[in-house]
Amino acid sequence: MSSPTQAGGNGGEAAGSAAAQDGDVTHPMKAFASELSKLQNQVQALQSTKLQEQVLKLRESVKAINERVQAAAEDLRKDAPTGMGLSTAQQAAAVAPAQESAAPVKREKIAKMSAEVKDDNPYSRLMALQRMGIVKDYEKIREKTVAVVGIGGVGSVACEMLTRCGIGGLLMYDYDKVELANMNRLFFRPEHAGMTKTDAAVKTLREINPDVNFESYHMNITTVDGFDNFVKSITKDGEGKESRVDLVLSCVDNYEARMVINQACLELEQNWMESGVSEDAVSGHIQLIEPGYSACFECVPPLVVASGIDEKTLKREGVCAASLPTTMGMVAGFLVQNTLKYLLNFGHVSAYLGYNAMKDYFPTMEIQPNPGCTNTACCKLQVKYADARKQRVVDKEAADKAAAEEDKAGPLHEENEWSISVVDEEEGGGGGDGAGGAEEQPQQQQEEQELAEGVHFSMPKADVIDAKTLEENAVETNDEEDVDDLRAQLEALNAK
């Protein structure tokens, strides 16, 4: 039999089951919140631990650095005894000037050249040329502009020399880039590799002398466009009519580029200097070319070109020309020296100067223009300046004659306080006809010689002793006494 309590019991179980279902719905949310709270606490604890570890590592790093600093300071104190006994602040103050002096010195611009002798005046030794009378006005170099075509072994060194001399403007032309193969030459450095030669030159030269106005032209002048751009760049306002440079220096290494420069300078009636180094690197030359006055480069072409051989066919794969920095440096020096004389009007400007290193031979010559030159522009200028060219020859002959007469004018020094005289060897060697003349000549020189006041001969000269002097200084002798008697007398004297 079933009892009510059982029924009720069943009902209670049902109710409890429903209540349990409701509890199952809310329990996962609470569990999730609890797990999330635990996870956050763990993350915070982990972050705190990592932060502490990082702080510890940082402290250890600081400690290690401090130990190294102290060790370095100790080494400095050992190496510099004079610094011992100084406080840390005093030592720091003593080290500061050394750090400042180690900083690179930057060359500032200078508005006006000065001859004042100072350690920070880069122009004092150049202006000394003016003080010594070599150059009338050296500062005029700042008014001059030079174009250098070819920034290679000769051109780069020429640019540096002109920069250090204080040239006013410097235009540089080249189409090539710096390579490590160029390191056997002067000027360029390994860090320039990959740069255009003109940009590398400007970078270096501007640090040497910021007073110079540099212009960099990375171009090939042997192309049609390159020729036009080259002519425009060296003319006023780029019109290609009137040159704005005082001189063009050719430092290229091929005939084609020289012909381009020659043509441009003929069209502008621009004076230029050509330079070159031989393929074997042991000879070179420089040449001044004045359109209409001297031979142009086409008047007297190189032997290879005159023989009808194409220059490009001479180059062989894997074979290069020799290159010596010594020869190139010397040719660059000759070139810039001639340039300075030309620009500042001093000394003799060489029309042609060669150099042979094998024999130390320096040939010079003047090359007259060729009436049969194949360049029509050159022939026209020859006709234009024919009279002026003849007048220049007359003036040169007159100057040479005046210089010769000046040499014969007489002694350089009118006053001769110490009676110094120069006697011709042919006259002073007793060249008289008889013995009597040879004996009388020294005595005549003695009589003519006038000593300065307070100066006299302490003893008579051997070649002018007269009979009276001999009589006064004569020693009496007795020919009758023999050697034995004289020896006996000497022994007696010694015995005393």
User: What are the percentages of helix, strand and coil residues in the chain, rounded to 5?
Assistant: 55, 10, 35
Q: Give the CA diameter of the chain.
A: 204
Locate all alpha helices (DSSP H) within 132-215, ordered by sequence: 155-165, 197-208
Q: Is 320 a catalytic residue?
A: yes
Name the 3-class secondary structure at 318: coil
Q: Which of 320, 373, 378, 379 is catalytic?
A: 320
Q: φ, ψ for residue 106 (rounded to 5)?
A: -100, 130
Nearest-Å Rg of the Cα atoms of the chain is: 48
Region of 196 please: left (phi>0), alpha (psi -120 to 50) or beta.
beta
In this structure, the number of other CB atoms found within 10 A of the CB of residue 393 comes to 10
**Spatial contact of 365 and 285, defined as CB atoms under 8 Å apart:** no
Give Cβ neighbours of residue 263 (< 8 Å, ≥ 6 apart). 227, 375, 377
| Alpha carbons 275 and 249: distance in angstroms, whole number | 8
Strand order in the sheet with 272-277: 213-218, 169-174, 145-149, 247-250, 272-277, 283-289, 352-356
Q: Which residues are catalytic?
A: 320
